[in-house]
Structure 1
C-alpha cells in the first residue's frame, strides 16, 4: 500500500459509516518524549491517507492519543478502560517494551494491537503484530558491516536498564562470538540518566574501538554530548539501532561524528513511498513541522499494517487478523513489508550521521 498523499480536502472528507477509533500510544513525556510531537504529526498523515481510501472497513479512522511515556501500569489502565468501554477498537503506536508488556494482557483477544517500535523480539501475544525492527535483522548485520567496513573488533555496550536493551545485549554477546568480536564492557543505566561521566571513564579505559548504544531519546542525547566532551569521538565509533533526526539535532553536529545507525527508515531514504510520505507530511504540517524520523514513521507503518490486515480479513477481530496475517504484505515508506508470524519483515539500512541528517551507506 503506497501513501495516498492526501490533500487537506481529502483529509477532512469522511467515508460513510461510524468512526473507527484507534488508540495511538506514543510518549509525551520522559526520555522518549522527544519523539512524541513527530509521532502525533505523522499519525495524522496516516489517518488522512487511510480515510481518503475508505477508512477501515468503511469506517473513518479516528486517532485517540494516549501518553505512552507514563508509568506502564498507568498506561495499561487507561488503555484497558478504553478497550472495555468500546471507546477504542484497536491499539498501535511507538512506546518502549515495558509499556508493550503491560498492554498485551489488556488487548489480547479483545482488539488488535500493532506495536511499531524496534524491540528485543519474541513477542507472541494473541492479536499482537510487531512492525518494528528486531536484533537478528538490525543489530547482527550492522555489527558484521562495522567489522568488515570499519574494522570493529572491541565493543563496549551501554544501554538503558529495561527490557529492550537487556534483551538486545544478550543477543549481542552471541553475535559477537559468531563474528569474532570482543565485548570489553557492558553497563546499564536508569532511564532518564543525564550524567555519563563515570561511563565515559570506563569506556576510555576499556580500549574499545566501538560503543554500541542502546539508549532512548534524551538519554542518548546526553550520552552523545558527554562522548564529544571527553574527546572519545576522535578514536572511538558509535553504533546504535535507535537514533533519529530529533536526537541528532539535540546532540549537535559536533557530538555525532563517526556515529552509525542501523534502522529500517531514515528521512533521507529515497523509496517512492518514502518520498510520497515526506511530501504529504510537509503539505499537511508545513516546513517547520517536527522532524520526520524512524520512530514517527513507524507509527505510519502501524496504521498501514492495521489497514492492510483488516482489508485482507474483512474484519478487525484479532483472531480473524491472525488467521490471514501471513498472507498480508504492502508497500510502505520502508519498502516492501511482509507480515510473517505476527512480525513484519523489512529492509534495514546502515547510515552515518551527517550534521542533522543521515547519509545512508548500505542496505543490510
Structure 2
C-alpha cells in the first residue's frame, strides 16, 4: 500500500475539505466553505492541532466520483494534506475511501445510509435508524401518514435507505405503495411527480439531493399536491427552502441533528459567531455546512485524545470520543457518532423544530 509523503512537523495541519461546488448539491458548497473557515479560526485560537495551525484546502466533491478521488490522491501522495473531511454524497465517499485507507484520518460528515466499517473513516452524520424510523412513527401517529411513496436519486444512499424504510414499514404497520429513482442531477422532476399523483399514498419520502429536491418541490406544488400530501425528507436545508419558493414547502417535514433555528445556547452561539465572521449576507447556515464544522471538531477531539495524528492510534482511540457543540453531545460508538435527531416542519424559509426524536 502506498505511503504518504511526510509533512514538516512545523507546517500547518492541513485538511482536505471535500465539499460540492457543482451538481445538485452545489448549493451547499459556499455555506460549507464559509463555516470551515470559522472552525479553523476557532481551533487555531485554541492552539491548533498538535500545536500546528489548522488550515484547509477545498476539493470539489460535486464532480464525478473518480475525478474527485484523483484530485484527492494527488494531495495525499504528495503529502500536502494531513486529514480529509467534508460533506459529500456516498458515491464520492466510496471512491475516495481507497485513496486514504490506511494513510490519513477521514471524517465523513454527511448523513448517509450507515454501515461504514473501513478503518480510518469516522462518520459524524445521521443514519436511517435514528433519522428515518422515529420520524416515520411520529408522522404516522400525528399526521396519519401510513401509505408512503419513495422518490430518490439513483445511487447508494437513496437505495440503501429505501431498503431500510421497507423494514421500518413492516415494524410500524406502514405501506410502501411505490418507489421511483432518477439519475442524480436529471433536472426534470415531472415524471416523479406524476407517479406520486397516480399512487394511493398519503406521504412522500424524498431521498433527493439538493437541486433535485428543489425541482421536485416546485413541480409537486405546481400540481397542488402540497395541499393534501405530507412530504418528509432527511436532506432538506435552508438554501433548498429558499430555492423551492415560499409556496412549495407546505406540509414538508425534515429530520436532522441540526437546524439553524434550533433554540439552544450552543446553536445560537454558532450562528452568532458565523454571522460575526461573514456578515449578514453570508451563505445560509444549514445542516450540511454545520456538519463540516462537526468534522473539523471531531478531528481535533480525536487527535487530542490520542495524543497523536498517527492513524493506528486514532483508530484505537475513536470509540468513546465525545464533545459538546451545536448538536448537543456527540459521542462515538465505534466509528459512528451518535447524536440527538430533531423533527421540524418547513415554515417559510426556515424550520420550526417540533420535537426531539
Question: What is the CA distance between 1:94 and its match in structure 2?
Answer: 0.1
The correspondence for 2:14, drawn from 12, 17, 21, is: 21
Aligned to 1:263: 256
Question: What is the CA distance between 1:340 and its match in structure 2?
Answer: 1.1
TM-score for the superposition, normalised by structure 1: 0.95
Gaps of 5+ in 2: 1-8
Aligned to 1:4: none
1:356 has 2:328 as partner: no
Q: How many residues align?
A: 349
Instruction: Work out the CA distance in 1 between the residues paired with 2:35 and 2:191.
Output: 38
Gaps of 5+ in 1: 1-15
Aligned to 1:273: 266
Instruction: Work out the CA distance in 2 between the residues paired with 1:271 and 1:323.
Output: 33
Instruction: Tell me the C-alpha RMSD between the 2 structures.
Output: 0.9
Aligned to 1:11: none
Aligned to 1:230: 223
Q: Is the 8 A contact 1:271 1:334 kept in 2?
A: no
Q: Is the 8 A contact 1:26 1:36 kept in 2?
A: yes
Question: What is the CA distance between 1:209 and its match in structure 2?
Answer: 0.4
Mapping of residues 162-311 of structure 1, within 5 Å: 162-311=155-304
1:137 has 2:130 as partner: yes
Aligned to 1:321: 314
Instruction: Work out the CA distance in 2 between the residues paired with 1:356 and 1:144.
Output: 26
Aligned to 1:31: 24
| Large movers: runs of 4+ above 2 Å | none
Aligned to 2:325: 332
Q: Deviation digits for residues 138-178 of structure 1, max 9, x if unmatched?
A: 00111011011111110000000001000100000000010
Q: Is the 8 A contact 1:118 1:132 kept in 2?
A: yes
Instruction: Work out the CA distance in 2 between the residues paired with 1:189 and 1:177.
Output: 25
The correspondence for 2:114, drawn from 97, 110, 121, is: 121
Question: What is the CA distance between 1:82 and its match in structure 2?
Answer: 0.8
Aligned to 1:345: 338
Question: What is the CA distance between 1:18 and its match in structure 2?
Answer: 2.4
Question: What is the CA distance between 1:78 and its match in structure 2?
Answer: 1.0
Instruction: Work out the CA distance in 2 between the residues paired with 1:348 and 1:284.
Output: 27
Question: What is the CA distance between 1:327 and its match in structure 2?
Answer: 2.8
TM-score for the superposition, normalised by structure 2: 0.97
Question: What is the CA distance between 1:17 and its match in structure 2?
Answer: 4.0
The correspondence for 2:149, drawn from 151, 156, 159, is: 156
Higher mean alpha-carbon deviation, 322-331 vs 36-45, is at: 322-331
